[in-house]
Amino acid sequence: MGSHHRLAGPRLILPLLLALSGPAGAGLADVLGARIEQAPDGSYRIAATVRHADSGWDHYADRWEVLGPEGRVIATRTLLHPHVHEQPFTRGLSGVRIPPTWTWVRIRAHDKVHGYGGRQVTLSVPAGSRGH
């Protein structure tokens, strides 16, 4: 009976290690920071820095989005490939139209396995540009 108990330990540990090494171990996509600037045509350019433990084509941060105060997505920056060896990374999006009454927007990131849920960043829309 003693030998049976000695074998039970490794049998329980191996499935646990396999579960931890899978996609769930990579975590959520976090927005670490963002910048906003207005273009001459009145639109905005937003650059977001994202961190995610990309592991390959099946699990990577695949986009970040700009949301308005009511939670509606107004712009999306699609990320076309994993950034396994470039973490964190910054990508920009031009031509973002923000209504003149909005004083802020929120940036959130998405990954192919976990979806949303990581750190978000709120950006103040520059006061001098609103109303144009």
114 alpha-carbon distance from chain centroid? 10
pLDDT, tens only, 81-103: 877 777 898 999 999 999 999 99
Domains and CATH numbers, the chain: 26-127 (2.60.40.730)
Average pLDDT on 59-63 reads 86
How, if at all, do strands 30-38 and 44-51 pair?
A: antiparallel
| 37 φ/ψ angles, rounded to the nearest 5 degrees | -145, 150
121 pLDDT band (50/70/90 cuts)?
very high
CB 85 within 8 Å of CB 124? no
The overall average pLDDT reported for the chain is 79
More confident position, 126 or 5: 126
Q: What is the pLDDT of residues 10-42, one digit of tens each?
A: 443 333 333 333 333 448 899 999 999 999 999
